[in-house]
Chains A and B, each alone.
Chain A
Amino acid sequence: MRVRRTVTALIISASVTTGGLVGLVAGPAAAAPPPQCRDTISVGPPVKSGGNVKAHSSICAPRSWRGRAWIERWRGFYWDTLDRSERKIQGQGGRLAKQYPLSASCAGAGTYTYRGGIWASNTFVTYEEHSAKRRFRC
């Protein structure tokens, strides 16, 4: 409790002197540009979330880059893309990463190896990146 009071007092004090709480918390960083990313696309390993399988994908690229991201499962002989898991992706430029969360129902399915996939192209160049796969029962 004492610590909390002390911190509160410091914040109030600092807020008064700096003109606001935001100024104190953010400080000099508020003026800094948002974190920039290097040109890349990525997708994470799928995880189970209730009756769904989910994965995160992102793209950091100029707006001319487009592609898609998806979740698929290994069915013994081929990769089967999960319906409704596919998303079109597009870079937003400015060296900023744009996130595309992926999700699909897997309720009722047995134990499978799931994999996130992503690709993007600017017409004449194609990138490809796959996550580590993960096997689980949904």
Chain B
Amino acid sequence: MIRARDGRPARRPGVLGAALMTLLAAGACGGSPAVPDVVDPGWRQPGELDIRFTVRKPQSAIRVHAVLSIDAAGRVLALRTVQSGGGVVSTRSDWTGGPAGSTADAPACASVAEPMEPPDGVAGWLAEPFGPVDAATAAGWTVDGGTATRPGSLDETVERAPLTPLATRVVREVERDSGAVVSEVSGITVRHTTSAPPLPPCGARWIE
């Protein structure tokens, strides 16, 4: 069984936190960003970007651990990501150097070669599944009062992402009428490192 929030690491992004504070302060003092820019350029520092978050649904929860390799120009060179299923590492996906990549998938993590296309542009990529990160990445979303909204993945659902700093952001897909939560992305942590963090192997028990 996948543990809930209390199992999540207490780690919080130090560098990003400082960047966030700087950006927020700049926004407050300098003027007029209509939408708090809490991610870019904080995310695109050269090195390795270690990202963790949780997706919760009424009947299940998925833990995600991803590592992005970013070059000096802020371009994403590679993505490695694993996700949990049933308390173990059930899926691994790798993307490197362009639209062609390979994945190794659940539940046996048998190796297969398939193309994997990232969304167009790094900003658009990073906006999934955390909601828009700024006005430039809000395509398809309606921003009003600090909350971004777009149609959900199901009929009669809507997805909402308050534009708060990532560490406190919760992106919810809810039923339009009842407000019942269909899915929820939360517990987002982002950490910059200089060396690539290892990812657990397929089939291993998921450890925080």
Contact = CB atoms under 8 A, between A and B. Distances in A.
B144 interface: no
A108 B116 contact: no
Interface string A119-135: 10000001110101101
B114 A80 contact: no
B152 interface: yes
Contacts of A126: 107-108
B155 A108 contact: yes
A108 B141 CA distance: 12
Interface stretch (A16-24, A34-42, A69-77, A89-97): A69-77
Contacts of B112: 130
B188 to A, nearest CB: 11
A105 B156 CA distance: 10
Interface stretch (B29-37, B40-48, B122-130): B122-130
B107 A77 contact: no
Interface residues of B, number: 39
Contacts of A108: 150-155, 157
A79 B129 CA distance: 11
B116 A74 contact: yes
B117 interface: yes
Contacts of A117: 105-106
B51 interface: yes
Contact of A128 (B105, B152, B183): B105
B128 A79 contact: no
A135 B55 CA distance: 22
Nearest to B154: A105
B62 A78 contact: yes
Interface in B144-165: 150-155, 157
B64 A77 contact: yes
B83 interface: yes
B110 interface: yes
Query: Which of A78, A82, A111 neighbours the largest number of chain B CB atoms within 10 Å of its CB?
Result: A78
Interface of B: 51, 53, 55, 57, 62, 64, 66, 79, 81, 83, 91, 93, 105-108, 110, 112, 114-119, 125-129, 140, 150-155, 157, 182-183
11 contacts: A73-B153, A77-B64, A77-B81, A77-B129, A80-B129, A83-B153, A105-B153, A106-B153, A110-B150, A119-B106, A128-B110
